[in-house]
A and B are shown apart, each in its own frame.
Chain A
Amino acid sequence: MSSQTLPRKPSIWETLTSEKNFKWTLLIPLLLLLAIFMLYPLLYSFYFSFHDWGMQGAPTFSGLNNLRQLVNDRGFLLAFGRTLEVLVICIAVEVLLGLALAMMWNREFPGQNIVRGLALLPLLVAPLILSLLWNFMMDFDFGMFNQILQAVGLKKVYWWTPKMALYTICAITIWQWLPFSVFVLLAGLKGLPKDVFEAAKVDGARGWYTFRRLTLPMLTPLIMIIIVLRSMWLIRLFDPLFGTTRGGVNTELLDWITYRTAFVMFDIGYGSAMAIVSWAFTMILCMLMFRQLMKALKPKE
């Protein structure tokens, strides 16, 4: 037995790059980081949602108390509802307006590089700084917008009334993220196979028909990707609130109430419960959308 030459054991490199294992090898760095950085906070928060802890001393076990409180927490439920409202409004506007602008700019025109380059600008400024500056720009007395309105003879508008403030927040975030959908869709439009459109034209197809039957279905995967990504980010919307209303005047959103519970009041137990609940909600919502997206992308494989 010992005199037999066993087949040489494959080296580590060979094992890793073998047909079967290569695809997993490629994932090693990613999975490692995932395990370290995602698992720990999740477990930590999960643990704390069943405890009370104020950053000092030992956490005290409180069972389902935090969750029970959460369900009855008017402020939290309102924040939840508002977040959904913001989600629907922003995505609707961003996709529709984005599509319209992309269609419009999907042609050769003088100065196109400059126009497209400038249109990218809102994405480039740090969201937090932007909110601080927007706050000043929308100031009732000193803000730029009201001063422009006054100059043309109109009345000053109070942008942060309890009824309107949430929509002002929507406007700010749409302003910053519209370029994202415009550019993604523009690139998508440019990538559509020209021959299909030529053929349709020869057959006599006109504008709206072409759009509905050809353009839109081919753009659908892209639109879905935009919706998934933006939904993920909009549920977590935080930056515009930071420098402006800070959750006051009816603008408290999910991430804000979580932030002030966990990070301003440092009620870690309750804050963790909020985080787990809103995370679960985000997961479910995005999972549903993701499944749709995968279906749309499948035929490519």
Chain B
Amino acid sequence: MIKKILFWLVTLLVLFIVIVPLLWIYLTAFKSQTDIFSTNLRSMVIFKPTLQNFRALFGDYPFWPNLLNTAIVSVLGTVVTMAVSLPAAYSFARWNTGGGDLLFMTVSTRMFPMAVAAIPHFIFFKTLGLLDTHFGLMLLYVFFNMSFATFLLYGFFNEVPKEVEQAAMIDGYGRMEIFRKIVFPLIKPGLAVTSVFCLIWMWNEFFFAFLFTRNQARTVNVLISSFWGGLQVQYGLMAGGAAITIMPTLLAAWFMQRYIIRGLTFGAVKG
């Protein structure tokens, strides 16, 4: 009995710590500027809700076009990342191509300080005319995520027992068929997990989106952080923007939640 109480106490505490800051975002999204700067707790929770933040967000700023840009870049970027990482991870897992070192090199792509990498990339993109384009930003995101995706997928592929594949080869199946019919279904959960994490990362990326886009391909995060204005921080607009922007990723994560638990199993297939 005590165990149960303890369990729920800890669980609720953790949930509380996790949720309260996010709850604050949603509350702030509906407050007026003066209510946001209140100095007592009561008016923090009890206030007159207003839609003015959202009205301003949709009316005065290109919120929806920016959100669309984010969606395009993130979704396409995730798809391409998977297309690049999946075969690569399979190659590493199955044949240990290039020894462990090549895998390590791919994993190390995110080890370089972004601020310094930005300038050579900028010049490179300018030469190719990729600045402020969806394609350019997507390409950059693919590069930043393929290390993480390859690494994670490598782990999942490692779980598929070689015997299964070998048995199929003996039975006369071609390599591509084996991959499609046998291996792929087994790592589907892992693929789902990796995709969601990639999607989230791309959805939330700021630095390169800020530098590499102007008005055309600007993503919604750049817009939201721009409310950290020079002479006035517009917390209301920021919270409102954040409140909406979280939702698609929340949806994606919710759907994948079941897969996530099942999918991240390193050893589940063994049973």
Contact = CB atoms under 8 A, between A and B. Distances in A.
A30 B146 contact: yes
B7 interface: yes
A84 interface: no
A115 interface: yes
Contact of A26 (B41, B87, B112): B87
Given A126-B242, A133-B24, A175-B18, A243 B121 contact: no
Given A125-B22, A141-B39, A192-B267, A286 B111 contact: yes
A229 interface: yes
Contacts of A141: 39
Nearest to B219: A126
A275 B112 contact: yes
B249 A124 contact: yes
Given A133-B24, A191-B265, A259-B113, A128 B221 contact: yes
Query: Interface residues of A toward B: which range?
Result: 35 or more
Contact of A278 (B113, B221, B263, B266): B113
A118 B115 contact: no
B250 A30 contact: no
Given A137-B21, A290-B107, A45 B44 contact: no
B19 A30 contact: no
B104 A290 contact: yes
A129 to B, nearest CB: 5
Contacts of A191: 264-268
B45 to A, nearest CB: 10
Contacts of B242: 125-126, 129, 133
A25 B270 CA distance: 29
Given A30-B146, A121-B250, A101 B14 contact: yes
Contacts of A30: 84-85, 87-88, 106, 146, 150
Given A129-B242, A271-B116, A187 B87 contact: no
A175 B249 CA distance: 18
Given A124-B249, A132-B228, A147-B41, A27 B121 contact: no
A275 B116 CA distance: 7
Interface in B121-142: 121, 124, 140, 142
Given A232-B110, A262-B119, A33 B84 contact: yes
Interface residues of B, number: 100
B155 A225 contact: yes
Contacts of A104: 7, 10-11
Interface stretch (B50-58, B59-67, B180-188, B253-261): B253-261
Nearest to B245: A126
A264 to B, nearest CB: 9
Given A26-B91, A113-B257, A124-B249, A263 B225 contact: no
* A-B CB proximity, top 5 nearest: A191-B265, A187-B264, A126-B204, A26-B87, A275-B116
24 contacts: A24-B91, A27-B98, A30-B85, A30-B146, A41-B112, A41-B116, A115-B11, A117-B257, A124-B200, A124-B246, A125-B242, A128-B207, A133-B21, A133-B239, A187-B265, A188-B267, A190-B261, A192-B267, A193-B267, A221-B266, A262-B119, A275-B113, A290-B107, A301-B162
Interface of A: 17, 22-27, 29-30, 33-34, 37-38, 40-42, 44-45, 101, 104-105, 109, 113, 115-130, 132-134, 136-137, 141-142, 144, 147-148, 150-151, 175, 179, 183-184, 186-188, 190-194, 218, 221-222, 225, 228-229, 232-233, 235-236, 238-239, 243, 254-255, 258-259, 262-263, 268, 271-272, 274-275, 278-279, 282-283, 286-287, 290-291, 294, 297, 300-301
Interface of B: 7, 10-11, 14-15, 17-22, 24-25, 36-41, 44, 83-85, 87-88, 90-91, 94-98, 100, 102, 104-121, 124, 140, 142-143, 146, 148, 150-151, 155, 158-159, 162, 175-176, 200, 203-207, 221, 224-225, 228, 233, 235, 238-239, 241-242, 245-246, 249-250, 253-254, 257, 260-268, 270-271
